[in-house]
Each structure stands twice: as C-alpha cells, then as structure tokens.
Amino acid sequence: NAGVTQTPKFRVLKTGQSMTLLCAQDMNHEYMYWYRQDPGMGLRLIHYSVGEGTTAKGEVPDGYNVSRLKKQNFLLGLESAAPSQTSVYFCASSYSRWDTGELFFGEGSRLTVL
C-alpha cells in the first residue's frame, strides 16, 4: 500500500538553484495538491490539480510551477529557489473535491534553501 509517495525526502539547495519535487499516487485519485507547512502556521496550498492535464493556483503559488502530465503524478518545480521557500512540502491526493472527503498525504519533503 504505497498511497502517496514523495521524492526526495530531503534536499538542500543554494539560493537560485532549481529543483523538482515528485509526487506519485497509486489510488487513481483525480485531485492532487501541493502544500507547504511552516512553523506556527497552518498548511498552505501552493497549487492543485483536478485531473490529468489541469493545474490551478492555490493560496501561495508565487515562485512555484506544477505539472500533471499523468494522472498519478504531480510535479512541483522551484525555478530559482529562495530562502523563503525553506519549508516542509506535502503532496496530497483525494478521490473527491477537497472539502468533501479525506486528503491522503505523502510523508513530506524537507527543503532547505541556503
């Protein structure tokens, strides 16, 4: 039972470097999400997707891009990393719309930008 898998689990970047976080789910869910979690704050939605080939901006999309070329994968890209992007990133998926059922989360990816 893999569920939602995120790679990598940890990454250290220098300011200005780029990277991609990969999220894969094996539950055939239509909806996928990228969140960031910072100390003392609730999870904040970066981008989301309601199906293969679709993406939409969340609450804090600046500095990030996403792609959903395949239903099971949702990629989060940082084109030019900044220290403010140091955070824990969680991918999630759901069978139904986000407010109607359970979100299933990956284990998280800890990113440090120096």
Residues engaged in binding another protein (CB under 8 A): 40-45, 59, 90, 97-100, 102-103, 105-108
Report, in Å, the least distance between residue 31 CB and another protein. Answer: 12
Q: Of 34 and 90, which CB lies nearer to another protein in the complex structure?
A: 90
Residue 14 near residue 81 (C-beta atoms within 8 A): yes
Q: CB-wise, 9 or 79, nearer to another protein? A: 9
* Nearest distance in Å: CB 102, another protein: 4
Toward another protein, which CB reaches closer, 35 or 64?
35
Structure tokens given for 93: 């998926």
Q: What is the dihedral of CA 98, 102, 107, 112, to 10 degrees?
A: 30
CB of 74 to another protein, least distance (A): 15
> What does the alpha-carbon distance between residue 32 and residue 48 come to, in Å, rounded to a whole number?
6
From the number of C-beta atoms within 10 Å of its C-beta (0-12, 13-18, 19+), residue 49 rates as buried
